[in-house]
Amino acid sequence: MDKNTLTGMLLMAAVIFGFMWLQKPSEAEMAERQRQIDSIAAVQQQQQRRDVAAGNVDTLSNDEMTHLMSVLQNLPADNAVINNEGVMLKLEGGDIAGTVTVGDTTVQWSEVAAATSANPAVHNLAVQAVQRALDMYAKNGSFAAALTGSEQTVTLENDSLKVEISSKGAVISRATLKGYKTYKSPQLVLFDKGDNDYSFTLSNNTQRFETKNFYFTPKQLNDSTVVMNLDLEGGAQWGLKYTLVPGSYMVRMEMVQQGMNRIIPLNINLVDLDWHQKISRHEFGKTFEERNSGIYYKFAGKGGEVKNTSESGNDEKEIKEKLKWVSAKNQFFSTVLITDSVFSTAQLTSRATESGQPDYENYLKDVTVHTMVPYSSDKPVPASFYFYLGPNRYHMLSSYDKFSPKEDLNLTRLIPLGWKLFRWINTGIIIPVFDWLGKFMSNYGLIILVLTIIIKVVLSPLTYKTYISQAKMRILAPDIAAINEKYPNQEDAIKKQQKTMELYRQAGASPFGGCLPMLLQMPILIAMFTFFPSSIELRGQSFLWANDLSAPDKIVEWSTHIPFISSTFGNHISLFCLLMTVTNIAYTYITTKSQAQSQSMPGMKWMMYLMPLMFLVFFNNYASGLSYYYFISLLITILQTYSCRLFVTEDKVRATMAANAAKPKKKSKWMQRLEEAQKMQQQQQRQQAGRSAGKRRR
């Protein structure tokens, strides 16, 4: 093609597009056309109502009758029935027979095909139902024969998991976890029929085929493998192959096909995937279980983060990055869909069940996922996945990284164990010790007791330092009071601070000496706060009066709600939480008695007593195992405090302080900088006072 030819073609294209642009109707013209279309539709509706009133009825055209006969003749011989939205038609002796159900009324085919009817309104609705069925068959082209069939269920089972796979849509319709139960059932059904649906949408240049609409033919290869297959025109086949991995909660799902390039062009490289699940309730405490449910997802790649939708309410997210897996996650159980390749973008929606809805008591959230996966119509296995249908157990989830050799799946992130530092404490210390104790003891109440004792013993040096610091501050309290009396004026504040710091330095004491050991213990306390509510090992384990250490140990319940705090406190009293509160108040009393009281902050004392009551409101709805741990921990702390008083007397502390005072003290760099800053401040004050006096003399 030479330059002149190319220039001519470009000019012609410019003329054509310019003409099209000039001929483009204005907004007013488009509005007028829409008004005309609406008017025609309104006239047609009026005419239809007049026809019904006059007894006139709709009828199928000759083309529609020909199409209907063609559809029935091309259906599989073993299931030659149209079954769609109340339409049940088949061939009998070469003629069409069957019924069409409209609402509560069933109309025989002979009446639908007739030109007259005693009930024109119902007749017309029946004709429209047949027309919609024909339209669906026309849209599904090569897949049309699979729109009818009978639903069958195939069961795959191992020692851990039982799954039921429906031939309608080729989906896992029910999953039962062995060895677990719910608060009201002896078996735990992760999801039941109708609660878990997913569908692939294949498309060519003119049509879209949703697999949820088709009846598949099951072919069970062995006890752990089944292929759900569709036989299509021209010998093409498409299906889903399921394999239950022995001894695990994993189900392998592979997209299998043959000759699909005759139906789906090679330029189609993505397939839509829509997944919907109603997350079932399994625990007695619905409020707390709902707070720990939602959609979790991992970004693709070795460093891919795991994030989640809001667990406290409704949420929508549009993910533009590639994902490795998505999960409908419960407090203790999850359904995770893991792809061997990637999910290309995703739209996630999570909706909490609302009070008053029929399924409010049985479900936590309604979640949907729309995403896409790579596809090629000429590959025998264009896409493959794993379904994890099981408990959120740390070591088990960690072991499943082997199913993804190229990158860690990080499924353990389904367990909320706190931020990085707290998670490291839980995964590196608490969980290994907890599991080690489980090898020797079967009662988890005793395991928590021993674990608490171990933690308190390890932290005892810090507890001892805290007590010594408090004792020193209590002994120095009279001396501090004397300094305050000696320098009562504001202009002596620097001098008073110098004397106070000198006293602390001589005694080897610090007002912050008790704070640092307590701060060092805080990560352990926070780590335990995240560990106990997430530990599935405690689920269903009883101890003393608590029937389930993963749920509140309710001793009193009521039906009314307390204003402002009902959502947090609940409508019950938990005994372990109450014991923790009483013990906390007792510990606060002991602590305040052993500390030097500040006259400048008298309200601080009442604030310290208010904190245990706030903890009562906050922890009342939490796992009883957590309250039991804090209760035992506080009791041991009180015992440690009294033990320190027995072995560390005030006379010993005074002797130690006297010895420290007698030793030559080398000022630290921090003290040197502090004194230099104080001297500069004093010099500035003297200069300012001199300038003020000079102004008064003038």
Give the full edge-to-edge strand order of the sheet including 161-166. Answer: 153-157, 161-166, 171-177, 188-191
What residue segments make up the domains of the chain, in order of their start?
Answer: 62-147, 153-416, 428-659
Q: What DSSP assignment string belongs to 576-624? A: HHHHHHHHHHHHHHHHHHHSPPPTT-THHHHHHHHHHHHHHHHHTTS-H
Phi, psi dihedrals of residue 122, rounded to the nearest 5°? -65, -40
- Distance, CA of 382 to CA of 237 (rounded, Å): 13
pLDDT at res. 71? 73
SS3 content of the chain, % helix, strand, coil (to 5): 50, 25, 25
The predicted-structure confidence for 475-496, as pLDDT tens digits, reads as follows 777 777 777 777 777 666 667 7
Sign of CA dihedral 525, 526, 532, 533: positive
The predicted-structure confidence for 394-404, as pLDDT tens digits, reads as follows 989 998 888 88
The predicted-structure confidence for 283-321, as pLDDT tens digits, reads as follows 887 777 888 899 999 998 877 889 999 888 889 999 999
Strand locations in 94-137, DSSP E? Answer: 95-102, 105-108
Alpha-carbon distance values, 670 to 501, 673, 674 (Å): 12, 5, 6
Helix (H, G, I), strand (E, B), or coil: what is residue 158? Answer: coil
Which candidate, 411, 416, 385, places its Cα nearest to that of 398? 411
Estimate to the nearest angstrom the gap between the alpha carbon of 83 and the chain centroid: 38
pLDDT at res. 571? 73
Going by CATH, does the domain composed of 153-416 fall within 1.10.1370.30?
Answer: no
pLDDT at res. 44? 45
- Distance, CA of 386 to CA of 399 (rounded, Å): 14
Quote the mean pLDDT of the chain.
79
Q: Quote the tokens at residue 373.
A: 């996966």
88 and 98 Cβ atoms separated by less than 8 Å: yes
pLDDT at res. 146? 77
Helix (H) or strand (E) holding 322: strand 315-329
- CA 555, 556, 562, 567: dihedral to nearest 10 degrees? 30
327 and 294 Cβ atoms separated by less than 8 Å: no
pLDDT band at 512 (very low <50, low <70, confident <90, very high): low
Has residue 442 got a pLDDT over 70? yes
CA angle 619–623–626, rounded 5-degree value: 75
Per the model's pLDDT, the better-predicted residue between 238 and 573 turns out to be: 238
pLDDT at res. 692? 62
Has residue 335 got a pLDDT over 90? yes
The predicted-structure confidence for 90-144, as pLDDT tens digits, reads as follows 888 778 888 888 888 888 888 877 877 777 888 888 888 888 877 777 776 677 7
pLDDT band at 56 (very low <50, low <70, confident <90, very high): low
Helix (H, G, I), strand (E, B), or coil: what is residue 60? Answer: coil
- The whole-model pTM stands at 0.75
pLDDT band at 676 (very low <50, low <70, confident <90, very high): low
